[in-house]
Structure 1
Amino acid sequence: MRKVERYPVEGPNALWQVYSTVSRLKSVRNFIFIQLARYCPILPLKNWIYRRILGMKVGKHTAFALMVMVDVFFPERISVGNNSIIGYNTTILTHEYLIKEYRLGDVKIGSNVMIGANSTILPGITIGDHAVVAAGSLVHKDVPAYAFVGGNPMREIRRSEMVVPAELDDHVRNIIN
């Protein structure tokens, strides 16, 4: 189950009421900087925009590919660990505006994670360290560490319990495995 906070609304659908939950100024500012980051080919500059202007938690050596779309209204609810790759045209959402309610949820992506191109990550999702999400996946539930997942709906394809560093000799590998 996704970890989201639910806020019921009265009257027209929740999206019509979006500016009662987030300021217009914040939305416009975030939109401008997200568009700059989407097309920016310089990874350190892109990460600086995410960290310093949008308030995201982005780990060292994490790479956001071209056209990644982070949540416009609540990007500060996104955290990504060290050395992860977010693939081309991936969308990371931290909000859902529905007919009778809106939902907010943090998105936590671990370290050494690979998200394939054209994936969508829904609010309230945690993706564990060393996980791999196949291209074109809809991430609608948590992904365990070391899991390889994919599809729409997403399903676990396989999981390796531990990655053994190449420096370990065969004897130590046999003991661990």
Structure 2
Amino acid sequence: MRNVERYPVEGPNALWQMYRTVSRFKAVRNFIAIQAARYCPELTVKNWIYRNILGMKVGKQTAFALMVMVDVFFPERIEVGDNTIIGYNTTILTHEYLIKEYRLGAVKIGSNVMIGANSTILPGVTIGDNAVVAAGSVVHKDVPANTFVGGNPIREISRTDAGERKDEDKRVLLRS
């Protein structure tokens, strides 16, 4: 189950009422900053935009590939650990506007995580350290640490405990 806050609305669907939840100024400012970051080839500049303009928590050596789309209304609810890669054209959402309600939920992505291209991460999801999300996946639930998931919706493909992963990393280093 995703960790989301639910807010019922009356009248037209929640998307028609979005400016009751976020200011127009914030939405426009965030949209411009996100578009600049999506096309920016320089990772340090992208991370500066995410941290300083959008208020995201972004770890050291984290890489957002070209065309990544972060939530335009609530990007400050996104947290990404160190040395993580967010693949090409991935979407990270922290809000959902539905017919009778809207939902908000923080997205937490751990360290040393690989998110494959064209994935979608829904609000309220936590992805543990050392996890791998296959390209084209829809992450609709939490992903435990050291787990490889994929699909729409995601399913577990394999799991490695932390000790096994460290042993494999040592073998790779010894071979090089």
Same fold (TM over 0.5): yes
- Residue of structure 2 in register with 1:145 after alignment: 145
- Residue of structure 1 in register with 2:166 after alignment: 164
- Residue of structure 1 in register with 2:71 after alignment: 71
Which amino acid in structure 2 is aligned with residue 136 of structure 1? Answer: G
- Residue of structure 1 in register with 2:174 after alignment: none
Aligned to 1:44, what secondary structure does the other structure show? helix
C-alpha distance in structure 1 between counterparts of 2:84 and 2:153, whole Å: 23
C-alpha distance in structure 2 between counterparts of 1:153 and 1:99, whole Å: 22
1:94 aligns with 2:94: yes
C-alpha distance in structure 2 between counterparts of 1:34 and 1:153, whole Å: 26
TM-score, normalising length from structure 1? Answer: 0.93
- Residue of structure 2 in register with 1:173 after alignment: none
The 5 Å alignment of 1:1-177 reads 1-162=1-162, 163-165=165-167, 166-167=169-170
C-alpha distance in structure 1 between counterparts of 2:103 and 2:149, whole Å: 25
Aligned to 1:164, what secondary structure does the other structure show? helix
Q: Shift in Å at residue 18 of structure 1? A: 0.1
C-alpha distance in structure 2 between counterparts of 1:22 and 1:152, whole Å: 30
State the Cα deviation string for residues 11-36 of structure 1 (Å, max 9, x = none): 00000000000000000000000000
Q: Shift in Å at residue 121 of structure 1? A: 0.1
C-alpha distance in structure 1 between counterparts of 2:149 and 2:128, whole Å: 11
Q: Shift in Å at residue 73 of structure 1? A: 0.1
C-alpha distance in structure 2 between counterparts of 1:84 and 1:164, whole Å: 17
C-alpha distance in structure 1 between counterparts of 2:21 and 2:72, whole Å: 13
C-alpha distance in structure 1 between counterparts of 2:141 and 2:161, whole Å: 19
C-alpha distance in structure 2 between counterparts of 1:13 and 1:97, whole Å: 8
**After TM superposition, what 4+ stretches of structure 1 lie above 2 angstroms from structure 2?**
165-168
Q: Shift in Å at residue 134 of structure 1? A: 0.1
Q: Percent identity?
A: 81
Q: Shift in Å at residue 167 of structure 1? A: 4.4
C-alpha distance in structure 1 between counterparts of 2:86 and 2:170, whole Å: 27
C-alpha distance in structure 2 between counterparts of 1:28 and 1:85, whole Å: 27
TM-score, normalising length from structure 2? Answer: 0.94
In the alignment, structure 1 segments of 5+ residues that lack a partner are 169-177
Q: Shift in Å at residue 109 of structure 1? A: 0.1
Q: Shift in Å at residue 153 of structure 1? A: 1.3
In the alignment, structure 2 segments of 5+ residues that lack a partner are 172-176
Aligned to 1:144, what secondary structure does the other structure show? coil
C-alpha distance in structure 1 between counterparts of 2:122 and 2:170, whole Å: 37
RMSD across aligned C-alpha pairs, in angstroms?
0.9
